[in-house]
Structure 1
């Protein structure tokens, strides 16, 4: 069974006094547990919109979105929020850390919504995750005192502390230098492999995209396979899909 799947998904936005704007057009994408997927596209191609669908922040205008075989499209908003909160971790380009909170407090925050033992053990779990990303000695540090690479590692720890099944990384190295970016991606890959989580990376960097198992390009809202193996491995629809070269 796939972890998350989009079938013939479109996303259209209504614009006053103009024709509706189609941002995503007939997207077919299946991501399996443990799979690493990259999606490359120019600015304005619909990458962020696609990530919002995969993260269950938005719903397709038409088409279907499922998570572990359950229709996300048919879920009530409360159920969708719980599924997202329990199963999806986001890594953003700009880190989005809270300035007035320590590294430990930033990573602890997702566990405030946990239940039972994980809620009561939230500080220990957050400290353990920070230690895994090499920041066990920086628990009390505020974001302003951390380097860009350290801030990104805090953001990764925050995304992974709830052991999500799906990691969505939106230009995770865009604010970092090349060496730090490669180090951050190695860290993400290692933790994803250990947890058998799926990873979807949105990037404009072919070197970062090449680290994935399967590769796609998003161009004007149309998702295309860019690796012959991805037609099977990622479950992209072969019908109406044109392979292109990165």
Structure 2
């Protein structure tokens, strides 16, 4: 089932005393339920702009963008906010934690807009999520008393607390050491698997990018596949035939 569909999507912004600036010039992308996608690109290539589109923060200038088979341009402002709050979890590179609020209160924030059990048990649910990211002992700590890595883990817990259908992660391990970063990516994958969520990660770390099933590069305003020679050889049907492990039929993904 396709969760997100982008076809020929562009994004142009108007500038004062200058011609309009085209940031995305024809993005094609399908994100299925449970998908794992990594996106890399140089600074200024439009990764943040694309993330804002995927997260329903902005509308495309032209092109087709569907969320659950519905054109996002048709969403009212209120409906867009409800879908984003319920179905999309953001992990921002800048953390965007609420100052003056404890780690627990920060993670509880998305649950203030939930219904039923999730609303009434928001404190317990938030505490359990903080425990999952290794911060069960820091529930009452304020952001300025947390290290950069701890703030990142609070931001991750906040993004995951409502079990979103789409997780958008902008350099989710950027402030973490190697071991903690690997643990966080494992957690992201576990939570995404438990809820059937799609996970789209923007990263400069090739090790993080390699954990995705699809690895894309944003360049020249569009997306293109990044081929991993080692992984390609490991799944080369011709080599499988030599090894005697060739599948009965070649999956469509190999023919794309």
Q: TM-score when scaled to structure 1?
A: 0.88
1:169 corresponds to 2:169: yes
The CA deviation at 1:220 is 2.6
**CA RMSD, Structure 1 to Structure 2 (Å):** 1.9
Most deviating of 108-117 and 22-31: 108-117
Q: Which has the higher contact order (CA 8 A, sep 6+)?
A: 1
- Provide the residue aligned with 1:83 in structure 2: 83
Structure 1 residues 167-196: Cα deviation after superposition (integer angstroms, max 9, x where no partner)? 000111223333332232222122222222
Alignment coverage as a number of residue pairs: 233
Q: Would you tell me which structure has more helix in proportion to its own residues?
A: 2
In structure 2, C-alpha distance between the alignment counterparts of 1:17 and 1:95, rounded to whole Å: 33
* 1:181 matched residue in structure 2: 181
Counterpart of 2:155 in structure 1 is 155
Shift of 1:26: 0.8
Given that 1:44 and 1:220 are in contact with CA atoms closer than 8 Å, whether structure 2 keeps it comes out as: no
Out of 44-53 and 200-209, give the one that drifted further.
200-209
- SS of the equivalent of 1:58 reads coil
**Are 1:62 and 2:58 an aligned pair?**
no
Shift of 1:132: 2.0
* Whole-angstrom CA distance in 1 between matches of 2:205 and 2:138: 30
Q: Which residue of 2 aligns with 1:114?
A: 114
Secondary structure, counterpart of 2:136 in structure 1? coil
Match of 1:20 in 2: 20
Whether the 8 Å CA contact 2:64–2:71 is kept in 1: the answer is: yes
Other-structure match for 2:49: 49
The answer to whether structure 1 residue 198 and structure 2 residue 207 are counterparts is no
Give the secondary structure class of the aligned counterpart of 1:20.
Answer: strand
Q: Aligned partners of 1:173 and 1:140: how far apart in 2?
A: 23
Question: Is 1:96 equivalent to 2:88 in the alignment?
Answer: no
Q: Please list every run of 5 or more consecutive structure 1 residues that lacks an aligned counterpart in the other structure.
A: 239-246
Choose 1 or 2 for highest CA Rg: 2
In 1: Cα distance, 2:19 partner to 2:99 partner:
41
Question: Which structure 2 segments of 5+ residues have no match?
Answer: 236-251
Contact 1:130 1:136 in 2 (8 A): yes
Note the C-alpha offset of 1:9.
Answer: 0.3
Once residues 183 and 146 of structure 1 are traced to their aligned partners in structure 2, the CA distance between those partners, rounded to angstroms, is 19
